[in-house]
A and B are shown apart, each in its own frame.
Chain A
C-alpha cells in the first residue's frame, strides 16, 4: 500500500489548492547542509531506476532482445493490460456509484456505509484473495484476479471521489438546473466532469497496485509481470531474466504515471469565487431506498463479510492451538521492524520536507520528485535492485536488516513526506522569528517552535510507514535475513503449504494492526473536505 501519498495528493491538492500559500522564506537553518542531505536521499531513491538502466546497458542489446522480446513476456504484458483495463473501469463505476449514494442521497445509514466502504483497506490484498480462495477454491485466472482486485482496491477510488463530492459547490448544480438540465443530465454534464481529478488520482493508485501486487495474484494463480519476477527471483537470485522483467514493469509504471498526467491535464477544478458553499442537498430516494441499500450492503458483504467469515471459520477450526509462540514472535518482529522502518523513513524525509516548505524552488521540485517517484515503484523492483547490488558489490550487506530497512525507506518515503510537509507548513517561519525576537537562539527556536509543531505530523508519518510495513509482503520476502518472519511472510509461507488454518491468526493480527490506518485515512479525507 503505497497509497497514502498519492491519495493525499489527489484529494487534498486537487481541491483546496493544496498547502497554504508558500512564501519565499529566508531560511534560518543553514541551507547548504540541508540541501546536501536532501540530495543524498534523492540520489539513494534513484538507485532502483538507476539499477534497471545500468543492468539493461550492462547485459547488452542482444541479451535484452532475447530476454524481453519473447512470447512469455508478451503474454505477461497482455494479461497485465487486461487486468488494468477491466479492473479500473469497474472500480470507477462502483466507487462513483457508492460515493454518490453515501454522500448525495438520503440512504439510511449513510455514515455507516461510508465507514464500511473504507474498511476493506484494513485487509491486505493477499488476505482478500486468501479468503476468496478458501471460500471458492476454483477461483482462478483473469476473472478471479479482477474480482478480488476490485473488491480489495475500490476504496482507493471511493475515498477521493467521496471527498470530492462533499466539496462540490451545490450552487453549480443549481445553475445547471436553471439552465434547463434534468437531474440525470446534471450528473453527467456537471458533477462527473468535476470528479475527474479524483477519479484520475484514484485510478492511478489502483493501476500501480495492480502492477506491483504479488500476493493477491499468486494466490489465485494469475500471472502478471510482478509474480513472474518473484518466480524468477526464487529460482535464481541474480538472474538477468528477472531484472529484464523488472525493466518492463518499471516501464509500465512510468507509462501509467505519464498517462495519468496526460488525462488529468492542467486542470484546476477548485471552487470559483469566494464565500462559503452551502451544504449539499441529499436527493430523496423514496421507494428506491430499499433497492439502493442492496449496493452498499452487498459490497460490505463481499469485501468484509467474506474475509471475516473465512477467517472466523479457520480460527474456529484451529481453536486455541494455532495461537502459539510463533504468532507472538511474528507480532513482535513485525512491530520492531515496522517502527524502525517508520522512524528511519521519517528521518530520511525531514531534509526534503523542510526544504519544500521553507525554500521552494526549481531544485527543490526536482529533488522532491525523486522522493515521490520511488513510492510508485513496485516493491519487487526495489527489492530486486537492492539484492542485486548487494550481491555484486556489497556482499556483507546481503540479507541484512540494514538492506531490509533501506528497502522500506525507499518504498514508504512518500508517506513520511506527506505528513511531515503538512505539519512543517503549520509552523511558519514567522513563528521562529517571533521566538528569536523574544530572545531564543535559532537552534532553540527550531527546537521549541518548529519541531514541537511538526511532531504530530512526524508521528503520523511514522505510524503510516509502520502500518505499510506491517502489510508488506513481496519486498520482505526477497530482502529479509534468514530467521526474520513478519506476520505477512509467515502468513505467506503457511498458505503456500495450504495450511490455511494455521495462517488465520497472522491474517487477523494484520487486520487488527491495520485498522488504525484505515480510520486515520477516513478521518483525514473528512478533514480535507472541511468537515
Chain B
C-alpha cells in the first residue's frame, strides 16, 4: 500500500543535477523525513511533489492517480496537497482567521466553526483570530500555517523545514505538536529537513538525499545502525570508524574483538556509535584501550578523547556521562556493547 509514489524522478537546473532518478514510496498514514545537507535536492523534491515544479523525467502519483509524468502534470492548485513552509508564508494582508479560511470553498456555511475547530486542533488561542501575522511569534505563525493547510483536509502534508526558524526549545515542542496533530487527523506527512536529529525523532521512514540521489531509505533505527556508507553514518550522528578484519561474525580492530552482524569476510571498515563504547579507567594498560588525551566537561554529557595504543589513528571521541570521568593522561579500557556495523 502506498499513498505517494515517485519513480525515477529527475530534475536539472542548467548544468546542476538537482534530482537524479529518485524513487520513493510513502505509505498512507506514515511520516517520512527527507533529510540531507543543503544543496542535496530535498527542497526541489518537495516542490515537485507540491506541484510548484515539474520533473524533467520520472513519474509521480498520489493514491494511484498520476500527478506528473515528466514535465506534464496536474498543477499545484488541483493536487490537494498541503504545505507548511519554512516561515509559514502567511498572507501578510489577512488576519489569522482569514488566513485559515483562505482555502475553504467560497461561502462555506460553517466557516466560523471550522476556523475555531482548526485553531483548537493546532492549540491556538481563539483570541488570536483577529490578529495579523506580524503580531504573532514564530511558533504561532507556524501553527496558523498548519491550520490553514489542514483546512483543505489534504491527504498529504508537506513540511518544508517548518521548525528551523524556531528556537531550540520551541522547535522540539512544535515538532511533537505537529506530529500529534497529523497523527490524530490521519494525514500522511513528508518532512524535509537538514537536521538529522529532527528527522530521526519525527519520522517512521527516513530518506537520505545527497547530491540529488536517494542514498538510503528506511526506518530511523535501521538507518542509524546500518547506514549504507560512511557519509551517511556521519551525517546521521557521531560515529567511530575503524579498520578491521572481519571473520565468522567477529571483527578484530583497535578495540579488540567486536561482534558484527555480517557474513562479510576479510578487510572492512566497521562503525560503532559512541554510545556503544564505555570508557573504564584501567591502569593495567590493556590491549583494547589507550590514553586519554583530552576531556571536555559538558555537564550531563562529556566528551573524552582517547588515543588508541599501537594504532596510527586520530584519537577517537567518546561521549560519556560525567560520573567516574577519567582525567587527561589516564590509561583507559574501551568496552563495546552491542554489535558493530560493517560497511560493504
Which positions in A face B, CB cutoff 8 Å? 169, 171-172, 174-183, 186, 189-190, 193-194, 196, 267-275
Does B85 lie at the interface of the complex (its beta carbon under 8 Å from any beta carbon of A)? yes
Contact: B81 with A178, CB < 8 Å? yes
Separation of A45 and B172 alpha carbons in the complex (Å): 57
Contact: B89 with A177, CB < 8 Å? no
Q: Residues of A contacting B83 with CB < 8 Å?
A: 174-175, 178
The contact sample of 17 A-B pairs, CB cut-off 8 A, is A171-B86, A174-B47, A175-B85, A175-B91, A176-B102, A177-B77, A178-B51, A178-B76, A179-B102, A180-B77, A182-B75, A190-B91, A193-B91, A271-B92, A272-B133, A274-B138, A275-B86
Closest B residue to A192 by CB, please name it. B93
Closest 5 CB pairs of A and B: A273-B87, A179-B103, A171-B89, A177-B76, A175-B89
CB distance from A185 to the nearest CB of B (A): 8
Contact: A196 with B93, CB < 8 Å? yes
- Of B76, B133, B165, most buried by chain A (CB within 10 Å of CB) is B76
Contact: A174 with B77, CB < 8 Å? no
CB distance from B213 to the nearest CB of A (A): 23
Contact: B89 with A174, CB < 8 Å? yes
Does B329 lie at the interface of the complex (its beta carbon under 8 Å from any beta carbon of A)? no
Q: Residues of A contacting B79 with CB < 8 Å?
A: 178
- Number of B interface residues at 8 Å Cβ cutoff, please give it: 37
Contact: A272 with B81, CB < 8 Å? no
CB distance from B139 to the nearest CB of A (A): 11
Interface string of B48-82 (1 = CB under 8 A from A): 00111000000000000000000000011111111
Q: Residues of A contacting B81 with CB < 8 Å?
A: 178
Contact: B149 with A275, CB < 8 Å? no
Contact: A274 with B134, CB < 8 Å? no
CB contacts under 8 Å to A, within B114-169, are 132-134, 138, 141, 145, 148-149, 151-152, 164-165
CB distance from B145 to the nearest CB of A (A): 8
Q: Residues of B contacting A190 with CB < 8 Å?
A: 91
Separation of A469 and B145 alpha carbons in the complex (Å): 51
Closest A residue to B165 by CB, please name it. A274
Q: Residues of B contacting A268 with CB < 8 Å?
A: 92, 132, 134
Contact: B149 with A178, CB < 8 Å? yes
Separation of A166 and B76 alpha carbons in the complex (Å): 22
Q: Residues of B contacting A273 with CB < 8 Å?
A: 86-90, 138, 141, 165
Which of A180, A194, A267 interacts with B103 by CB under 8 Å? A180
CB distance from B68 to the nearest CB of A (A): 15
Closest B residue to A272 by CB, please name it. B133
Separation of A181 and B80 alpha carbons in the complex (Å): 11
Q: Residues of B contacting A274 with CB < 8 Å?
A: 87, 138, 165
Separation of A181 and B94 alpha carbons in the complex (Å): 16
Q: Given that A269-B93, A272-B90 are known contacts, is A178 also in contact with B75, CB under 8 Å in the complex?
A: no
Q: Residues of B contacting A269 with CB < 8 Å?
A: 92-93
Closest B residue to A174 by CB, please name it. B52
Closest B residue to A197 by CB, please name it. B93
Which of B47, B52, B88 interacts with A272 by CB under 8 Å? B88
Separation of A271 and B94 alpha carbons in the complex (Å): 13
Contact: A272 with B77, CB < 8 Å? no
Closest A residue to B132 by CB, please name it. A268
Closest B residue to A171 by CB, please name it. B89
Q: Residues of A contacting B89 with CB < 8 Å?
A: 169, 171-172, 174-175, 273
CB distance from B290 to the nearest CB of A (A): 44
Q: Given that A177-B52, A177-B75, A179-B103 are known contacts, is A270 also in contact with B85, CB under 8 Å in the complex?
A: no
Separation of A272 and B95 alpha carbons in the complex (Å): 13
Closest A residue to B43 by CB, please name it. A278
CB distance from A331 to the nearest CB of B (A): 48
Q: A182-B75, A193-B91 are in contact. List 13 more A-B contacts (CB 8 A).
A: A172-B89, A175-B85, A175-B89, A175-B91, A176-B91, A177-B51, A177-B75, A179-B102, A196-B93, A268-B132, A273-B88, A273-B138, A275-B87
Separation of A177 and B82 alpha carbons in the complex (Å): 10
Q: Residues of A contacting B75 with CB < 8 Å?
A: 177, 182
CB distance from B304 to the nearest CB of A (A): 37
Q: Given that A174-B89, A272-B90, A274-B165 are known contacts, is A179 also in contact with B52, CB under 8 Å in the complex?
A: no
Q: Given that A177-B77, A180-B152, A275-B165 are known contacts, is A270 also in contact with B92, CB under 8 Å in the complex?
A: yes
Q: Residues of B contacting A275 with CB < 8 Å?
A: 86-87, 164-165
Closest B residue to A278 by CB, please name it. B43
Q: Given that A196-B93, A269-B93 are known contacts, is A179 also in contact with B148, CB under 8 Å in the complex?
A: yes
Separation of A189 and B85 alpha carbons in the complex (Å): 19
Contact: A194 with B93, CB < 8 Å? yes
Separation of A175 and B103 alpha carbons in the complex (Å): 10
Separation of A97 and B304 alpha carbons in the complex (Å): 65
Q: Residues of A contacting B151 with CB < 8 Å?
A: 179
CB distance from A412 to the nearest CB of B (A): 34
Closest A residue to B138 by CB, please name it. A273
Q: Residues of A contacting B47 with CB < 8 Å?
A: 174
CB distance from B182 to the nearest CB of A (A): 16
Separation of A275 and B165 alpha carbons in the complex (Å): 8
Q: Residues of A contacting B138 with CB < 8 Å?
A: 273-274
Q: Residues of A contacting B50 with CB < 8 Å?
A: 174, 178
Q: Residues of A contacting B134 with CB < 8 Å?
A: 268, 270, 272
Q: Residues of B contacting A171 with CB < 8 Å?
A: 85-87, 89
CB distance from B85 to the nearest CB of A (A): 5
Contact: A193 with B77, CB < 8 Å? no
Closest A residue to B102 by CB, please name it. A179
CB distance from A369 to the nearest CB of B (A): 25
Separation of A52 and B77 alpha carbons in the complex (Å): 58
Q: Residues of B contacting A189 with CB < 8 Å?
A: 102
CB distance from B48 to the nearest CB of A (A): 12
CB distance from B167 to the nearest CB of A (A): 11
Q: Given that A270-B134, A272-B141, A275-B165 are known contacts, is A178 also in contact with B82, CB under 8 Å in the complex?
A: yes
Separation of A337 and B161 alpha carbons in the complex (Å): 59
Q: Residues of A contacting B132 with CB < 8 Å?
A: 268
Q: Residues of B contacting A186 with CB < 8 Å?
A: 77
CB distance from B19 to the nearest CB of A (A): 17
Contact: A182 with B77, CB < 8 Å? yes
- Of B51, B91, B102, B149, most buried by chain A (CB within 10 Å of CB) is B91
Separation of A268 and B85 alpha carbons in the complex (Å): 21
Separation of A189 and B148 alpha carbons in the complex (Å): 16
Contact: B77 with A181, CB < 8 Å? yes
Contact: A172 with B91, CB < 8 Å? yes
